[in-house]
């Protein structure tokens, strides 16, 4: 899929504004009537050598319990103290481990395995339509919402490392 100049400029602005792939997908559909799958949007961003940006989190109200006083009596957010002591969370390895298969499963454009934080393994695959499928080793298993978010980030990182 090729974008015209206006579409490409809008995509670059959305990425710089920190929109997620799903938000970009919806914006392309809403503004330009382009109906793309999530994976098509992801590949489009990669093809244009653009890098997704995280939205800065704005703290509008800090509860008093999270504030501690320093020796000078100035309140500080205790989360800042921990962040300064241990560094950013990107420096630590995730509790969710994603691997990409060397040989893809039939019907998949990419496949692999994931080990969630609770130790449950699952096979995953993405089909030609960009649909993600999870097949856990335990019947009826549902990973936590936090694990799913981490999985999505780890999957994106793993696919980028493999040039996908």
**What percent of the chain shows pLDDT beyond 70?**
74
Query: Alpha-carbon dihedral of residues 114, 131, 163, 32, nearest 10 degrees?
Result: -140
Closest of 160, 118, 111 to residue 141, by C-alpha: 118
What's the pLDDT score for residue 113? Answer: 92
Q: At what angle do helices 5-16 and 21-32 cross, to 10 degrees?
A: 150
Which residue numbers in the chain have pLDDT < 50?
57-92
What's the pLDDT score for residue 121? Answer: 92
DSSP 3-state of 78:
helix
DSSP 3-state of 126:
strand
Look up the pTM and report it. 0.43
What's the pLDDT score for residue 54? Answer: 62
For the stretch 31-54, pLDDT in tens is: 888 888 888 888 888 888 888 776
**DSSP one-letter code for 124:** E
**Cα 83 vs. chain centroid, distance in angstroms?**
21
Alpha-carbon span 156 to 67, nearest angstrom: 35
């Amino acid at each position: 899929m090729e974008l015209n100049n206006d579409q490409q400029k809008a995509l670059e602005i959305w990425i710089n504004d920190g929109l997620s792939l799903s938000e970009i997908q919806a914006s392309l559909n809403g503004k330009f009537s382009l109906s793309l799958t999530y994976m098509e949007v992801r590949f489009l961003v990669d093809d244009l050598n653009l890098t997704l940006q995280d939205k800065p989190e704005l703290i509008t109200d800090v509860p008093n319990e999270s504030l501690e006083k320093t020796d000078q009596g100035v309140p500080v957010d205790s989360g800042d103290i921990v962040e300064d002591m241990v560094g950013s969370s990107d420096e630590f390895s995730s509790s969710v481990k994603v691997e990409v298969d060397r040989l893809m499963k039939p019907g998949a454009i990419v496949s692999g395995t994931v080990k969630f934080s609770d130790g449950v393994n699952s096979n995953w695959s993405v089909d030609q339509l960009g649909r993600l499928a999870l097949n856990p080793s335990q019947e009826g298993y549902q990973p936590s919402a936090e694990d799913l978010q981490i999985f999505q980030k780890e999957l994106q990182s793993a696919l980028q490392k493999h040039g996908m």
